[in-house]
Amino acid sequence: MSLLDRLRAQIAQDGPISVAEYFTRCLHDPRDGYYANRPALGEGGDFLTAPGVSQMFGELIGLWLLETWTRMGSPSPVRLVEVGPGDGTLISDILRAARLLPEFLAAADLWLVEVSPPLRRAQAARLVDAPLTPRWADRLEAVPAGAPLLLVANEVLDCLPAHQFVRTQTGWAERMVGLDEKGDLAFGLKALAPSSKRSLSSEAAPPSRGEGLEPGTVVESSPAQAALGSEIGHRVARDGGTALLIDYGRDTAGAGDTLQALKAHTKVPPLAEPGQADLTVWADFPAVLAAGAEAGAMTGPILTQGAFLQALGIEARAQALAAARPDQAEKLARQLDRLTGPAQMGELFKVVCLSAPSLSPPLFGES
Ligand SMILES: C[S@@+](CC[C@H](N)C(=O)[O-])C[C@H]1O[C@@H](n2cnc3c(N)ncnc32)[C@H](O)[C@@H]1O
């Protein structure tokens, strides 16, 4: 029985499910979920991420990590952690840059937090000749404590489920996935009691004030994104270190339906092919930073990816690569534009940092 048929049967029997539950089933159903079964990154897959655009992305993040580790006092050991490493391109580019500082490689203990069995295999293959041997964990909590953290997560927040709330004439309703009269999956609404409001950051709820909003306005709430911000915040506050989170998303609290399904680089309706397409929502950076700060982390500004990479010298890096390989100059210019151009990834993608309060990471800790 396909995931679609199993979802139909479950909803017919037990009633509609939240968008967040639908999202989780589509990505992580053990048999048919997208990440359990057929994740496909890259030009020939379903979506392309920044590390797949150019090696410059991971190399510059690697240099940022080396500088941060030096500012931390060069601790040994240090846990170098990537959450959601995809096909391993980012960590492989980071480790290439890290060869510049052998003392760092000697101190670093590499952990990859990955839930997807096929992606773990891809990461192992990519890192065969890497200067560090990785270990894998299912979740960040399983990475041993007791050493400072240097954590990177690119396009991971957008894989974490969000609830959707819709403003109606009479108050708030939660958007649900149910069945239409033909038995196909369809969005519907479940009215919420007027008193519904969030009491814990681990609970999803609509904003407490919605009176001025137009009926039909959608607001998203992701306790899972906030929980990752909180867990990282606790960890860096207790053990030291820093985390760099990069994703597309909002830098101020706001409304909007950002649920999106991508298959072969094309948007498809989110309910059309459960488990066959990648599903995402925007990262809610203000909520992630608030959860991290509440847990004790220092949080800096929300930078755009364009500003972050330019401050790290991506233009000079592109020029140096083009001088070494003039035949690649046009391709490098296209890659630079894709990563930093305002109409491409430069503005929509943001970079945030959660750090131990004593640390001043480059670009995030300086006033
Ligand atoms: C869009 S891919 C990004 C891959 C890589 N970071 C990159 O930039 O190319 C999302 C990654 O997050 C992982 N992931 C998805 N859901 C997750 C979850 N609930 N917890 C941890 N990782 C998750 C996926 O398996 C995958 O490695």
Q: Is any ligand 1 atom within 6 A of the Cβ of residue 85?
A: yes
From the CA of 108, how far away is ligand 1's center (Å)?
Answer: 22
Q: How far is the CA of 176 from the centre of ligand 1 (A)?
A: 25
Q: What would the two tokens of residue 76 be?
A: 């040994």
Of 24, 34, 35, which is best to mutate to test ligand 1, by the most ligand atoms within 8 angstroms of its C-beta?
35
Rounded-to-integer distance, Cα 114 and Cα 26, Å: 17
Ligand 1 binding pocket includes 349 (Cβ within 6 Å): no
Q: Which of 219, 268, 267, 202 is nearest to 19 (CA)?
A: 219
- Which atom of ligand 1 approaches the CA of 39 most closely? 25
Triad 41, 248, 266: Cα angle to 5°: 45
Q: Select from 272, 191, 170, 189 the least CA-distant residue to 16.
A: 189
119 C-beta closer than 6 A to ligand 1: yes
- As a whole-number percent, the residues of the chain with pLDDT over 90 amount to 87
- Kindly state if the Cβ of 258 falls inside 6 Å of ligand 1: no
H or E segment to which residue 232 belongs:
helix 223-239
Q: What's the number of CA atoms in the CB half-sphere (13 Å) around residue 57?
A: 26
Average pLDDT over residues 324-349: 96
Measured from the CB, is residue 248 less than 6 Å from ligand 1?
Answer: no
Atom 14 of ligand 1, residue of closest alpha carbon: 84
pLDDT of residue 127: 97
- For residue 351, give the nearest of 280, 293, 317, 300 by alpha carbon: 300
Contact criterion met (CB below 8 Å) for 147 and 109: yes
pLDDT in tens, 285-334: 999 999 999 999 999 999 999 999 999 999 999 999 999 999 999 999 99
Nearest alpha carbon to residue 31 among 275, 263, 262: 275
- Give the per-residue pLDDT at 264: 87
55 phi and psi angles, rounded to 5 deg: -65, -20
In the three-class reduction of DSSP (H, G, I as helix; E, B as strand; rest coil), residue 178 is classed as: strand
Domains of the chain in sequence order: 54-158+222-252+281-355 (3.40.50.150)
170: Cβ contacts below 8 Å, ≥ 6 apart? 191
How far is residue 251's CA from residue 318's CA, in Å, rounded to a whole number? 28
Closest alpha carbon to 354 in 236, 249, 227: 236
pLDDT digits over 233-264, tens only? 999 999 999 999 999 999 998 899 999 999 98
203: pLDDT confidence band, cut at 50, 70 and 90?
low
Strands 171-179 and 163-168: antiparallel
Determine contact, residues 220/281, Cβ cutoff 8 Å: yes
Nearest CA to ligand 1 atom 19: 160
| pLDDT for the residue 198 | 53
Q: Single out the residue of 246, 247, 249, 261 nearest to residue 34, CA to CA.
A: 261
